[in-house]
Structure 1
């Protein structure tokens, strides 16, 4: 749907919403039913944002009810008991879905004039028709966003279905008179719905949603750093790039591992299930034996690298992050040593060849069974 048509339908929908709200507030019994339904939803745990989208709802209602201390439930009850104080309700952006629900409840009772019920039904049908038209016309926007969030765990249809939930929220809350295009307003709602679904469903062990939603920033920083330096960033680098603590970074990195189906067929039949079982090993916490091997390997590498000439040892330490060095690219090392990148590469390869020839047999003990060097 082009921008002009979108804006036209949005304006018509807003006028229909205001028309239905005005009809509900025109009758004391209808406005009382609106407040009763609102209070019922609040008492049963429904968030106020699912009823009215105006962020100033509490201050408007409390002020209209002449309450000094803001308490939305008491204020709604006060308006329910005092029909003369309900004028403030007209300034609130009640969601179309809620207004349609209240109008249906009004029509199900026999306490209203027939001509009023006819007007109410017509207004509700107009609002519902425009609401559905706005949703249907922007399904392609949902597909566009869902296509950018493809995952191996969730199907494209699942992403679109959840994105439509975000689209409906955007349609209900959109105010065409604030000067924003609908697509600009709707995309964040669609992204939020899809990303929350991915967070909830993609991993077997789930992070808290608030932390998991911030994981994308961490992975983006890791990806960008790797593309620039050809090395994964350290914890300190990630702390400087993301607004996350060290514990949060470690938690996110430890929980986000690939998941595999137990029914998956292995390509190599000779493994007899060994590869699949290896994938099932927990990786959230380091195994004691692995930690011992890593420490032993670190100490041994320090010893063997120390046998090299100073320049070769320094280059290997900087290149591979040994002896508390940060892993560096060939170009970064070349800039620091004021030599060419090619010269650093030659020295590195010569040093590695020496270590392989002198200590290769001992280093083989640290390799996994299927690894090579």
Structure 2
């Protein structure tokens, strides 16, 4: 249970760690609303319960419908068919919702300030604390007998923790993925304590009922990004981005050369039959995201894997014969490794193919 004495005096102005005009204004506005006493909270809960019953009867909701704002009122889009009594209940329920939010703004600020960090702006923490407060209001069931402030405390804290997880990342990560990452950290720590060593990827996958590839992706997503705008020296004249090489960025000349190489390669493949072209193109990933395996090609074409391999070798021999000494001499050095790669499928003779 949380009362105003625990929260301390209402904040009037931001302190040194909470600078910012907008944050200061918010503190001032939040101080206008006092927290509800236990008696006031009970009266408000009784009003909400009555409103939910009236509206549930009007909408003929099932008996097992949760008596929450979200379940009873959250889906209402048209009140034109409401009876006068139901319309009054609808308006009163919204007024109670607003009262619960306003009277607990100080609680949201109090929790946000507890988690204040240099890496996360205070305004962002307060914003997500308010999101947690709204979720608590809309999910609160007054018939359960719990105090709202206790219920809201949990929701606000959880939302602020999610904010810290998201806010530490430069790239937005969906909430469900953030929850998976948090669970991965928790399970990894527990297994480390039990095993006396760091768990393997397969052990984590088994414990979390996930695939090893999913664990690998979550681990990659858990890594903190670094902004390229981070200054490397105090005067800020040089950033991390300035020190990074741009070797992977192809120049216009390289792109033109790669285009010419692809045209020449297509001309070479035109010497083959349609089947040979198809097999070579699929085996070496021409115009495909990745090369296909012998198994995939044999299944698609209805022939054995060995037959696919034979056709591949025959097609390469044709190209070697047609172009005097092999394909490597036709393209001595690819301009862009990401566009072409050298392979040695037959007798050590290199072949340049697109990727």
Choose between structure 1 and 2 for higher RCO, CA contacts under 8 A separated by at least 6 residues: 1
| Same fold? TM cut 0.5 | no
Looking at secondary structure, tell me which structure has more helix per residue: 1
Provide TM-score, normalisation by structure 2. 0.44
